[in-house]
Structure 1
Amino acid sequence: MAKISGMKVKLFIKDAATGKILAGQRNATLNRSAETIDSTSKDTEGFWKESIAGFKEWSIDSDGAFIETDEAYAVLESAYLNSENVDVYLEFPSGRKYEGNATITDFSLEVPYDDLVTWSLALQGSGALTKVEAEDEAGA
């Protein structure tokens, strides 16, 4: 079983033409969750509650070093200022991707007096998150 270093997983922001790697990105967390719907009824055995999956949602939290000339950061900043969603994907070394459309819910820039300028980003998924395997793209 191969282990993967987080250093090799990259966050990309899509513009009209292509995906652009978010330069300076250090950390990213892909959050996935589902609501539960209580499906317990009078004929449920053993007094154990039953549930089924309801609506799902996803989000990405990320942070990194600010690079003034980063094209992906410029796409994010423009989308944020214009209240537009962005298309994003996380790509693994194997070519696996998790991709979707997202709303920028937090876009912070930290400018300390005596340290590196950094950014943090919170993206809330809008619609489905899709998983694309490398062979899915090769066959497309």
Structure 2
Amino acid sequence: MSKMTGMKCKVYIEDSATGKILAGQRNATLSRSAETIDATSKDTAGFWKESLAGFKEWSIDCDGAYIESDVAYGLLEKAFINSENVVVYIELPSGTKYRGETTITDFSLEFPYDDLVTYSISLQGSGALEVKAGA
């Protein structure tokens, strides 16, 4: 089992079925969760609750150094302004991809007095998250 560092995991924005790497990206978090359905009944063993998985959801949060000429950032800017969803994926060094359609829920730029201009983006999954194993 090989270990990897996060610096080799990159976020891409799809444009006409090709991925454009999000330049300047520093951190990314893929969050996945499921609602729980209480399945406890009078014949449940002991006093332990039982539960089942319900609806699932996923999201990606990322941030980085703002690069004004970045094509992928431009795609996000256009989609946000036009209230359109975007297809995003995170690719691991092995080629494994976590991919799906997203809604941009937060799209911030920070302009500090004495540091780099940075962005932060929150993308809420719209539908299923696809996981495709690498080669």
In the superposition, the TM-score normalised over structure 2's length comes to 0.98
How far did residue 114 of structure 1 move? 1.3
How far did residue 17 of structure 1 move? 4.3
Indicate the residue corresponding to 2:96 in structure 1.
Answer: 96
Identity %: 72
**Structure 2 CA distance for partners of 1:17 and 1:44, relative to 1, 3 Å:** closer
Q: Secondary structure at the match of 1:134?
A: coil
Q: Does residue 121 of the first structure (1) align with residue 124 of the second (2)?
A: no
Cα deviation, 1:60-113, whole Å, max 9, x if unaligned, reads 000000001100000000000000000000000000000000000000001112
1:68 counterpart letter in structure 2: E
Most deviating of 8-17 and 31-40: 8-17
Alignment of 1:50-129 (within 5 A): 50-129=50-129
CA distance in 2, matches of 1:116, 1:37: 45
Q: Does residue 44 of the first structure (1) align with residue 44 of the second (2)?
A: yes
How far did residue 15 of structure 1 move? 1.1
CA distance in 2, matches of 1:26, 1:99: 19
**Structure 2 CA distance for partners of 1:112 and 1:40, relative to 1, 3 Å:** same
How far did residue 47 of structure 1 move? 1.4
CA distance in 1, matches of 2:15, 2:78: 11
Q: Secondary structure at the match of 1:84?
A: coil
CA distance in 2, matches of 1:60, 1:31: 6
Q: Which structure 2 residue ranges, 5 or more long, are not aligned?
A: none
CA RMSD of aligned residues (A): 0.7
In the superposition, the TM-score normalised over structure 1's length comes to 0.94
Aligned length: 135
Higher helix share: 1
